Amino acid sequence: MTIPLHYREQGQGRPLVVLHGLFGTLDNWQTLARRWAEQFRVILVDLRNHGRSPHSEEHSYTLMAQDVLALFEQLQLPADTTLLGHSMGGKVAMRFALDNPERVRQIVVVDIAPRFSDMEHQDEVIEGLNALDFKSIENRQQADDALAQHIRQVDTRQFLLKNLYRREDNSFAWRINLPVLTAAVAALGEEIKADQPFLKPALFIRGGKSDYVTAEDKLHGIPALFPNSQVETVVDAGHWVHAEKPEEVYQLVTAFVNS
């Protein structure tokens, strides 16, 4: 069953739909969206179980792609729409394009490949998020201190804490559907497969310091499903390419959408 996704829209012109990654929200792309909105109609989306979109007991790439299709239909998006996704959102974009090639002009995938990926690197994040005791937390600093016992990287904690909000009774809670995402996280490493490749243009942007897209992916995995693709490497960027090197991502995406 599809879910009505929360989204934010700005600008005019050819549509550019943007999907965040695991534990992210549409806010992660707000800075770049403001710039793209000067020439495109930018639609930032919260995927199911994230941000301000509804929660569901189910979480899979097929379902997320169906949610995005329902949003395309709701907004009556034309066939010249570009779909962009980062990480988990990148796999949603791939699944969407392979299932609905007629609905998009092209796709942009940021730092993820279609192959299976072991999700064990998320173990400490999942552990830290679940260990937070909201009964004893009165402010964001205390939440950060508690997370730091599990997650050393400051930038990762800051990213995760964007999911923290105050309820009406003034207590803290996560916006993400943590129990469902905890249960689903292993399955989110699944390989994206299809009987037919996506023949339209696809731009893959990888971080030079990230191992999410390998030389093998570039040579075989990506072209097998996306034969009309190009892979661009942003030097000195890790997995959060758009946060670390926004100017480079802005230029690559802008040129691609306008090509």
Residue 50 annotated among the catalytic residues of the structure: no
How many angstroms from the chain centroid is the CA of residue 76? 22
Beta bridge partners of 109: 85, 204
Q: Is the dihedral of CA 182, 1, 110, 199 positive or negative?
A: positive
Long-range own/partner contacts, residues 234-237 (CB < 8 A, 24 or more apart)? 234/205, 234/206, 234/207, 234/208, 235/208, 236/208, 236/209, 237/207, 237/208, 237/209, 237/210
Of 53, 87, 210, 229, catalytic? 87
Task: Decide: 92 and 85 in contact? Cβ < 8 Å.
Answer: yes
Of 6, 20, 86, 239, catalytic? 239
Residue 20 annotated among the catalytic residues of the structure: no
d(CA 170, CA 152): 28
Query: What residue spans of the chain are helical by DSSP H?
Result: 30-36, 61-75, 88-99, 123-131, 140-148, 154-161, 178-184, 215-216, 222-225, 241-244, 246-258
Query: In which region does residue 128 sit, left (phi positive, over 0), alpha (psi from -120 to 50) or beta (all else)?
Result: alpha
Tokens of 55: 């929660």
Tokens of 183: 């249960």
Which residues form the catalytic set? 87, 239
